[in-house]
Amino acid sequence: MARYGMVIDLSRCHGCRACMVACKVENNTPKGSFWNYVFRFEEGVFPETRVSFLPRPCMHCDNAPCVKVCPVGSRHKTLEGLTLTDWDRCIGCRYCEVACPYGVNCFNWKDPKKNRYLDWSDPSLEGVELSHGMPYANPDLDLPQGSQGRHTAGGGRMKGVVEKCTFCVHRLEKGLLPACAANCPVGALVFGDLDDPESPPSQLLREKPHFRLLEGEGTEPRVYYVGGAPPTTASRQIEAVKARVER
């Protein structure tokens, strides 16, 4: 069985944030919700300054603290290594959000249908069919996923539930890469079966020194980084995107 994971090559990343937008379009996330986030960092004092980038999807931890604290079994691990949310079960307690040391969870303070960037109910769009409150809804997100047929791809989300990166579970089932990895213009996001020694991410891990974020937390992330170093307390975030602030 494939057990998925991602290797992010920081030596390639331009910090362009195309992965963030690709994720938004693919997963129809509402305004202010970023399942994938690209940090832009600065360190040092002029002229000894360094600038770097760090994409941060959900780590899909093998020892996921969010799964442990979920009181209703909504947040769960799959046999393929994914950490997913069952929207039908989520009660919006936000324990997962508190437990996650990576800050990947986004709570829907608003009805996602009414949080779609533009007013798609404008009369001039008459005749354009809206689904989930927008004209470009991805119908795959409504499909039940996996052998258990659970709603984990994002289509059933509503006000008061937590959402996060699914590694595009609906695309994996079609044999496609997650949207962020498929689109990355510079091939910085390398996705595949970490149990297969010949998969591109496994090869990369063999070839290059790597690290995981907050390794000491014992979360066992399935996202690895090569080609750079982890951020430190000296890393200052620049050009931060204000996410999850609107209520």
Partner 1 sequence: MTKEKKSGTRVGPKWGQVTRRTFLQGVAATSGAVAGSSLFGDLITLSPLPGESPKPLHEDWIPTTCWIGKQECGMLARRINGHVVKLEGLPAHPRNRGTLCPKGIAQIQALYDPNRVKAPLLRTNEKGVKGTWREISWDDALDLVAERIGEARDRDPSLFVWQKGRSKAKPLYDKAFVGATGALKLHHGAFCSDAGYRAMEYTIGMHGVMHPDFKHTQYLLSWGWNITGGGGNKYCWLTWAQQLVEARQRGLRVIDIDPRLRSAAHFADEWLPVRPGTDMPLALALCKVLIDQDTIDRPYLTTYTNSSHLLQEDGSFLRDDEGSPLVWDEETETPRPFGSEGISPALEGVYSWDGAQVRTVFSSFKDHISTATPEWAAEITGIPANQIRKIGRELGDNAMIGSTIEIEGHTLPYRPVAIMAYHMSQQELGFQALRAMTFIPMLLGAIGAVGGQFTDLTWKEHKNWKKLDNIEITDTPNITLKGSKYYPINSNNSSLVAHVMKDPLRYGVSGIPEVALLHHVNPLGSFPDQKANREAYAKLKFVAVIDPWLSLTADLYADVVLPASTLEKYEGPMKGTDQYEDAVALRIPPMEPIFDTRSEIEIYLDLCERLGVLNGEKGYLALVNKNLKLKPPYTLPLDKKPTPREIYDIWAKGQGIKEGVAFFEDNGVLLKGAVPASKRYPMAMDTPFGGVVPHRLYGESLLGYARKMEERGAPEIYWRDYTPFPVWRTPTLEGSPAKYDLYLTSFHKIEFKQSRTPIPFVRELAPTQVLEINPSAARARGLEDGDRVQVESHNAVTGETRKIETTVRFRESIRPDVVAMPHHYGEHTKHPWVDGTGPTPNTLFFTGEGYVSNTADQTYLVKVRVSKAPRR
Residue 36's closest CA among 17, 12, 51, 52? 17
CB within 8 Å of 109: residues ≥ 6 apart? 159, 246, 247
Tell me whether residue 216 or residue 245 sits nearer to partner 1 (CB atom): 245
Pull the structure tokens for residue 25.
Answer: 């379009």
Q: How far is the CB of 13 from partner 1 (least distance, A)?
A: 8
Tell me whether residue 199 or residue 219 sits nearer to partner 1 (CB atom): 199
Q: Is 144 helix (H, G, I), strand (E, B) or coil?
A: coil
Q: How far is the CB of 57 from partner 1 (least distance, A)?
A: 16
Tell me whether residue 100 or residue 181 sits nearer to partner 1 (CB atom): 181
CB within 8 Å of 149: residues ≥ 6 apart? none
CA neighbours closer than 13 Å in the CB half-sphere of residue 234: 9
Q: Is 195 left (phi over 0), alpha (psi -120 to 50) or beta?
A: alpha
Phi, psi of 99 (to 5 degrees): -75, -30
8 Å CB contact between 75 and 67: yes
Phi, psi of 6 (to 5 degrees): -135, 140
Question: For residues 14 and 134, what is the distance between their CA atoms, to the nearest angstrom?
Answer: 30
Q: How far is the CB of 88 from partner 1 (least distance, A)?
A: 12
Q: How far is the CB of 95 from partner 1 (least distance, A)?
A: 27
Q: How far is the CB of 14 from partner 1 (least distance, A)?
A: 5
Tell me whether residue 12 or residue 212 sits nearer to partner 1 (CB atom): 12
Tell me whether residue 34 or residue 95 sits nearer to partner 1 (CB atom): 34
Tell me whether residue 1 or residue 233 sits nearer to partner 1 (CB atom): 1
CA neighbours closer than 13 Å in the CB half-sphere of residue 155: 16
Q: How far is the CB of 84 from partner 1 (least distance, A)?
A: 14
8 Å CB contact between 63 and 100: no
